[in-house]
Amino acid sequence: MAQRLQEVDVVVIGVGMVGSMVAKELAAAGYRVVGLERGQTRFTVPEFQSPAMHDELRFAVHKAMMQDNTREPVTFRNQSSQVALPLRRWESFLPGTGLGGSMVHWNGQTWRFQASDFQLATHVRERYGKNLLDADLTIQDWGVTYADLEPHYDRFEYLLGTSGKAGNIKGQIQAGGDPHQSPRSRDYPTPPQKELFQGTLFREAAAGLGCNPFPQPSSNMSQPYTNPEGMKLNTCVFCGFCERFGCEHFAKSTPQTVILPVLLANPNFELRTGCQVQRINLDSTKKHATGVTYVDAVGREFEQPAALIVTSMFALNNVRMLLLSGIGTPYDPNTGQGVVGRNYSYQTVSSVDAFFDDDVVVNPFMASGASGTVINDFAADNFDHSGLGFIGGGYVGAVNSHGRPIQFHPVPPGTANWGKGWKQAVVKHYNHTVKISVHGSSMSQRQNYLDLDPTYRDAWGQPLLRMTFDFPQNDLKMSAYVTAKAVEIGKAMGAKQVAGYPRKGPYTTQQYQSTHNTGGTVMGENPKTSVVNRYLQCWDVPNVFVIGASNYPQNASWNPTGTLGALTYWAIDAIKSKYLKNGGHLVAA
C-alpha cells in the first residue's frame, strides 16, 4: 500500500539538465518543488575524478554511467510485422541515469536548429511543392518559431558557457562563423576552442572546395567562465575522455558544473534519489493529474501529490511515462490515430576515414568532446534539393572526440578483422587517420513509433517501451549524398586513401550511432497530431508538462541538446508567467 505524502506545488520527474533548470527556476520563484531521480547522486568531486575516470573499458565499453539493462531496457524491432525483442545490452544509443542525467557524460556539442526546421512541412511544401516527399513521411511544423526561441537559446548557451564563433549576429554575417545559421542576438559566451590538427586539415580542404568551415560550438570551455548563476568552469585540457565520462576538470558544462549547486542550496527544493516513478496518477475525469507514485531504493511505494507535474526525463522515458499513466491516446500505426508514441525519429549518422602517410601525425587521443571544424553547407535545406529525391541533410566535419584504442583503431577497407594483417594495419594507421563525421537529419514516418511492449517487463513489473524503427528511404538517400561530399573533402585533405561509409539500412541497434532519440510526445498546434501544445503542456492533462527531445516532430541535422535547452527556458517562462498565474489550457484545444 503506497504511503501518501504531503502535497507539494511541483514534482519534477528526472533530475537531469532539464529537471534541474525547471526545479531551480520554480523553487527560486517560491514554489515547493520535489525532484525525483531514479539514479544516485554524483558530483565532480569525488565521482568524476581522474585517474579513475580515464578508464575506457569501464565507462565507454561497459557503459558504467548508463541506464542499467538488467532493470530497464527497451524492446526493439525494425517493422511492425516483427516481434520486438529486448535490447539486452545498449549499443546504438545509450540512455543515461543518475543525478545530472545524460549531460554528465555528453560530448558538449551545442547547436541551434535553423529557422526553417521549425516550419519544416510548410517550408518544404513552399520551396519544392507537394510532391517531393515520400507519402510515408509525417514531418510537421513545431508550433514555435526560431524567433520565439532565440532569447532562450541565448540564455541556455550563457548558462553553459558554450565556446564558439557566431556566423550571423542580427542579420550581419560574421567571418569565421557559420554563414547558414539563423540570426543570433550576440556571439557565444566564450571564444572557440583551439583547433586540432584534424580540424585544420579539414578546414583548409573544405574552404578550398568552396565550403564554409567554422569551429563547432562546444560546451567544453575554451577559457575559464563564470555563468549567470555564479558557477565557475575551467578550461578544457583535451584529455580525450569526454563522451561517456564525467569531467574531472569542471570544464564540461553539466548540471553539476552549471546549476545543480544553486538548486540544491534552495530550501524550496527537495531532491529524492533512488526513486523510480511508476506513473502519474489521474483523477476520475482523467483530465487532471493528482500526483505521482514512485518506489524508492529500498522498495517502498509512495504517492506524492502535486499540483503541477513536469516530466523531464530522457526522451524515451518521457514517452513511456505517458503511456504507463494513460495520458493521451496511444498511437496506432494501423489506423494512424492517436498521438503518444507517434513520430519517433533518430539521427542519420555516417563517417569517412581518411588515411594519411606516416608523416602526418594526428595524435587522436588529444581531443575534447566537442572541438571540431565543421561545415553546414550540406545540412538542412542549405542546398538546393531539386531533383535529388530527398529532403534534409547533415553537417560534416573533423569532429574527433577521442582516440581511445578499444573503440578507435581504424583500418582501411579490405583489412582482415583479426590476425597479423589486422594488427599491422592498426599500428600503421592509428596515429595517421582522420575520421570525418556526417551528422544528418531524421524524418518521421508513419511506420516508426513507440508503444508499450506486450511481453517484456522492467524490474518493477511494468511493461517496457517498444521501439519500432527503420530508416526512411529519404534519409538513406540523404546519407549517400552527403557522405559522398565528405569523401571529396577527405581527398582534398591529401589523404592517401579515403573510405566512405554512408548509412545503410536496415537500422541496427548493434552499432553505436547516436543517443539522439527524438519524438513520441510531439509538440504542435493540432491536438490530432501532437501530444503537447507549443508550451509543452499536455493537451489532455493540462497540469502535466512534458519537456524533452520527445517533443520534436522530426529531428534536424544537428544535435538536439541546444534546442532542448531553449525549449526548456521557453516552457519555464510559460509555466511561470501563464500557467502558475492562471492555470488551465494555455492554448485552446
**Which candidate, 20, 25, 132, places its Cα nearest to that of 477?**
132
Nearest distance from residue 233's CB to another protein, in Å? 11
Q: For residue 372, which amino acid is it?
A: G
Nearest distance from residue 61's CB to another protein, in Å? 6
CB nearer to another protein: pick between 117 and 248: 248
DSSP state of 2: P
Q: For residue 226, which amino acid is it?
A: T
Nearest distance from residue 515's CB to another protein, in Å? 16
CB nearer to another protein: pick between 248 and 540: 248
Binding segment for another protein among 40-48, 286-294, 342-350, 478-486 (CB under 8 A)?
40-48
Binding segment for another protein among 163-171, 388-396, 507-515, 558-566 (CB under 8 A)?
507-515
Binding segment for another protein among 29-37, 49-57, 178-186, 337-345 (CB under 8 A)?
49-57
Residues 301-340 binding another protein (CB under 8 A) are none
Residues 457-476 binding another protein (CB under 8 A) are 457
The helix/strand/coil state of 19 is helix
Dist CA 456 CA 449 (whole Å): 17
Asked if 4 interacts with another protein (CB under 8 A), we say no
**Which candidate, 162, 54, 559, 117, places its Cα nearest to that of 382?**
117
Asked if 78 interacts with another protein (CB under 8 A), we say yes
Give the residue, chosen from 51, 210, 387, 461, that forms a contact with another protein under the rule CB under 8 A.
51
Asked if 239 interacts with another protein (CB under 8 A), we say yes
Residues 264-293 binding another protein (CB under 8 A) are 264
The helix/strand/coil state of 243 is coil
Backbone CA torsion sign across 272, 273, 278, 279: positive
Decide if 472 contacts 134 (C-beta within 8 A): yes
Strand partners, 4: 303
CB nearer to another protein: pick between 88 and 170: 88
Asked if 406 interacts with another protein (CB under 8 A), we say yes
Asked if 424 interacts with another protein (CB under 8 A), we say yes
Dist CA 533 CA 109 (whole Å): 27
Active site residue 516: yes
Asked if 528 interacts with another protein (CB under 8 A), we say no
Asked if 62 interacts with another protein (CB under 8 A), we say yes
Asked if 237 interacts with another protein (CB under 8 A), we say yes
Cα of 582 vs its chain's centroid, Å: 32
CB nearer to another protein: pick between 259 and 538: 259
Residues 432-461 binding another protein (CB under 8 A) are 455-457
Residue 330 has φ and ψ, to the nearest 5°, of: -65, 145
CB nearer to another protein: pick between 238 and 269: 238
Nearest distance from residue 7's CB to another protein, in Å? 29
| 297: region left, alpha or beta (phi > 0 left; psi from -120 to 50 alpha) | alpha
Active-site hit among 62, 105, 516, 585: 516
Helix H, strand E, coil C: the string for 362-420 is CCCCCECCCCCEEECCCCCCCCCCCCCCCCCCEEEEECCCCCCCCCCCCCCCCCCCCCH
Nearest distance from residue 447's CB to another protein, in Å? 15
For residue 73, the tally of other CB atoms under 10 A from its CB is 21
Asked if 88 interacts with another protein (CB under 8 A), we say yes
Asked if 85 interacts with another protein (CB under 8 A), we say yes
Asked if 365 interacts with another protein (CB under 8 A), we say yes
Nearest distance from residue 377's CB to another protein, in Å? 24
Decide if 99 contacts 255 (C-beta within 8 A): yes
| 105: region left, alpha or beta (phi > 0 left; psi from -120 to 50 alpha) | alpha
Dist CA 84 CA 346 (whole Å): 18
Per the document, the length of the chain is 589
CB nearer to another protein: pick between 127 and 409: 409
Binding segment for another protein among 52-60, 273-281, 312-320, 325-333 (CB under 8 A)?
52-60
Residues 175-204 binding another protein (CB under 8 A) are 194, 196-197, 200
CB nearer to another protein: pick between 206 and 264: 264
Binding segment for another protein among 60-68, 136-144, 161-169, 346-354 (CB under 8 A)?
60-68
Nearest distance from residue 456's CB to another protein, in Å? 6
Binding segment for another protein among 129-137, 259-267, 330-338, 494-502 (CB under 8 A)?
259-267
Asked if 508 interacts with another protein (CB under 8 A), we say yes
CB nearer to another protein: pick between 177 and 410: 410
Owner of C-alpha cell 559522398: 484
Nearest distance from residue 245's CB to another protein, in Å? 11
Nearest distance from residue 446's CB to another protein, in Å? 20
CB nearer to another protein: pick between 69 and 497: 69
Nearest distance from residue 147's CB to another protein, in Å? 36
The helix/strand/coil state of 325 is helix
Decide if 137 contacts 51 (C-beta within 8 A): no
DSSP state of 94: -
Distances from the Cα of 404 to the Cα of 243, 283, 365, 431, 587, angstroms: 11, 52, 6, 11, 49
Cα of 103 vs its chain's centroid, Å: 9
Whether omega for the bond prior to residue 51 falls within 30 degrees of 0, making it cis, is yes
Give the residue, chosen from 1, 6, 81, 83, that forms a contact with another protein under the rule CB under 8 A.
83
Cell numbers describing residue 493 = 585533405
Rounded to a whole number, what is the distance in angstroms from the first to the last CA of the chain?
37
Nearest distance from residue 493's CB to another protein, in Å? 13
Asked if 525 interacts with another protein (CB under 8 A), we say no
Dist CA 178 CA 169 (whole Å): 11
Q: Please, which contacts does 282-288 make with residues 24 or more away whose CB atoms are closer than 8 Å? A: 282/325, 282/326, 282/327, 282/541, 286/326, 286/540, 286/541, 287/540, 287/541, 287/542, 288/541, 288/542, 288/543
Asked if 45 interacts with another protein (CB under 8 A), we say yes
CB nearer to another protein: pick between 249 and 439: 249
Give the residue, chosen from 427, 494, 528, 583, that forms a contact with another protein under the rule CB under 8 A.
427
Kindly state the number of chain residues that form the binding site for another protein, as judged by CB under 8 A: 77
Give the residue, chosen from 14, 16, 35, 73, that forms a contact with another protein under the rule CB under 8 A.
73
* Active site residues per annotation: 516
